[in-house]
Amino acid sequence: MPSTTTNGIEPKPISRARLRLSGRGMWITFLLVPPMVVMALFVIYPILSALAYAFYDWQGLARGEFVGFANFKKVLFQEPFASTTWNAFKHNIYVFFALMIIQNGLGFILAYALWRDLPGARFHRIAVFLPVVLSTVIIGYVWKLFFHPIFGAVNQLLEAIGLGALATPWLGDADTALNALIFVNAWAWVGFPTLVFLAGLQRIPSEILDAARMETDSELTLIRKVVWPLIAPSATVCFVLLFIGSFNWFELPYIMVGLDGSPYGNTDVLGLYFYRTAFGNQSAGIQDFGMGSALAVLMFLFIAVFATAWTIYLRKREIEV
């Protein structure tokens, strides 16, 4: 070994490094393999099998013939399924934009107020986050009672303050049902973006803010030019998670308006439509795994593609600003 002898380096450290590396490698393998197996078994395999199911005709539980893209064509283009799909999809889009404004918008305002340490900030920091900890089942159930047309707190409150004319069966009225659900979702989850934005705000070094304050007196300019760009990573998290959540929306509408998206499809979203198509609505329909799987695959592709593209865009923006 001329190299080791000429420059006087002992071979031992190298071999020890190798040993350490292989030990480290084993450690990494040990940590990575179990989650990968779990992922493969419970995430990748179901997605792939749903993909496979979507290409077959199903007679109840028995897999029938291979039908190619027939199930996809059915849910996307064949009436009356197509209009149900687009109606549900339209509602998902509406929910997403409404929650972007109400939930994330309010979340940012609340975070900013908490960050500026207005009086009572410590109490509100907890109060705002509290509903996030509650189970969706409880939130849905309680708000369903609040919206009850006869005994509900909302209508009784309206009547008590002389606005009885505004009282309506909130969840049974085609004009208000979806908005009522969006309101409840925002009420329950506004604490999450608040917390994420607050964490982002607290990470801004005070020197930067002091310097900026010397330049401008306007709070708005400060927010627009300094604060908002600096909390871009927090915004990315809130936006992308809300996007995924809005297009996978299921629990809250399921609990509050049922599988059918009552009244007559006015609160129908893709999650509900998928569930009742694939698993059957005991009191109304039959199960069709093929169409259900086709819907699931389409939802997955849509969310995966758009969430990825948007994340890449938002990340790039983080760096640019």
Instruction: Map 42-106 to HEC letters.
Output: HHHHHHHHHHHHCCEEEECCEEEEECCCHHHHHHHHCCCHHHHHHHHHHHHHHHHHHHHHHHHHH
Q: Which residue of 105, 172, 229, 233 would you call a contact of another protein, by CB under 8 A?
A: 172
Contacting another protein (CB under 8 A), which of 277, 295, 297, 298?
277
Answer for the pair 268, 88: CB distance below 8 angstroms, yes or no: yes
Q: In whole angstroms, how close is the CB of 172 to another protein at the nearest point?
A: 3
Q: Does 296 bind another protein (CB under 8 A)?
A: no
Measured CA to CA, the distance from residue 218 to residue 213 in angstroms comes to 8
Among 1, 214, 284, 319, binds another protein (CB under 8 A): 284
Applying CB under 8 A, which of residues 80, 119, 162, 205 lies at the interface with another protein? 80
Closest contact distance (angstroms) between CB of 199 and another protein is 39
Smallest gap from residue 252 Cβ to another protein (A): 15
Residue written as token pair 């399921």: 254
Q: Is 279 in the site for another protein (CB under 8 A)?
A: yes
CB of 59 to another protein, least distance (A): 6
Q: Which two tokens stand for residue 228?
A: 């908002």
SS3 166: helix
Nearer to another protein, 154 or 238 (CB): 154
The residue among 136 and 168 lying less far from another protein, judged by its C-beta, is 168
Decide if residue 150 touches another protein (CB under 8 A): yes
Q: Please, which residue, 105 or 169, has the CB nearer to another protein?
A: 169
Residue 18 C-beta: closest distance to another protein, Å: 49
**In the stretch 36-75, what mask flags binding to another protein with x, by CB under 8 A?**
-----------------------xxxx-------------
By CB under 8 A, which span of 172-180, 191-199, 208-216, 231-239 interacts with another protein? 172-180
305 SS3 class: helix
Buried b (16+ CB within 10 A) or exposed e, 201-222: beeeeeeeeeeeeeeeeeeeeb
Angle value at C-alpha 177, between 97 and 169, nearest 5 degrees: 150
233-262 residues in contact with another protein (CB under 8 A) are: 257-260, 262
Buried b or exposed e, range 98-128, using 16+ CB within 10 angstroms: bbbebbbebbbebbbbbbeeeeeeeeebeeb
Nearest CB to another protein, comparing residues 114 and 257: 257
Q: How far is the CB of 255 from another protein (least distance, A)?
A: 11
The distance of closest approach from Cβ of residue 292 to another protein in the complex, given in angstroms and rounded to an integer, is 11
Check if the beta carbon of residue 272 is closer than 8 Å to that of residue 254: yes
Q: Where are the alpha helices (DSSP H) in the chain?
A: 2-6, 11-39, 45-53, 70-77, 81-99, 106-115, 121-133, 136-146, 153-160, 177-189, 191-202, 206-215, 219-222, 228-230, 232-247, 251-257, 270-279, 289-320
In eight-state DSSP terms, residue 263 is: S
165 binds another protein (CB under 8 A): no
Q: Is 267 in the site for another protein (CB under 8 A)?
A: no
The structure tokens listed for 314 are 């938002």
Nearer to another protein, 194 or 262 (CB): 262
Q: Give the binding site for another protein (CB under 8 A).
A: 59-62, 79-81, 144, 147-150, 155, 167-174, 257-260, 262-265, 277, 279-288, 291
